[in-house]
Amino acid sequence: MIYKKLPHTDLEVSKICLGTMTWGRQNSEEEGHQQMDYAVDKGINFFDTAELYPIPAHPDRYADTEKIIGSWFKKTGSRDKIILGTKIAGKADFTKFIRSSGFRRESLIEAVEGSLERLQTDYIDLYQLHWPERSTNYFGKRGYKHDLTDHWQDNIHQVLETLSDLVSEGKIRHVGLSNETPWGTMRFLEESKVHSNLPRMITIQNPYNLLNRQFEVGLSEISIRENIGLLAYSPLGFGVLSGKYMGGMKPANARITLFPAYSRYISENANRATQEYYNLAQENNLSLTKMALAYVNSKPFVTSNIIGATSMKQLKENISSIEVDLSDELMKGIDTIHNNIPDPAP
Determine the Cα–Cα distance for residues 218 and 1; give it in Å rounded to an integer: 29
Backbone angles phi, psi at 24, to 5 degrees: 105, -10
CB-based contact 208:215 (threshold 8 Å): yes
Instruction: Match domain 3-240+299-324 to its CATH number in 3.20.20.100, 3.20.20.70, 1.10.3720.10, 3.40.50.620.
Output: 3.20.20.100
Who wins on pLDDT, 224 or 91? 224
Q: CB under 8 Å, gap of 24 or more: what pairs does 214-222 form?
A: 214/142, 214/343, 214/346, 215/301, 218/182, 219/181, 219/182, 219/185, 220/299, 220/301, 222/182, 222/185, 222/186, 222/189
pLDDT at residue number 262: 86
Average pLDDT over residues 267-284: 97
Average pLDDT over residues 220-234: 98
Enzyme catalytic residues: 53
Residue 45 DSSP label: -
pLDDT at residue number 164: 98
For residue range 286-298, list pLDDT tens digits in order. Answer: 999 999 999 999 9
pLDDT at residue number 20: 98
- What is this structure's pTM? 0.96
Bridge-based pairing state of the strands 3-5 and 12-14: antiparallel
Q: What percent of the chain has pLDDT over 70?
A: 100
For residue range 82-110, list pLDDT tens digits in order. Answer: 999 999 999 998 999 999 889 999 999 99
Cβ atoms within 10 A of the Cβ of 58, count?
Answer: 13
Average pLDDT over residues 156-180: 98
For residue range 124-152, list pLDDT tens digits in order. Answer: 999 999 999 999 988 988 899 998 898 89
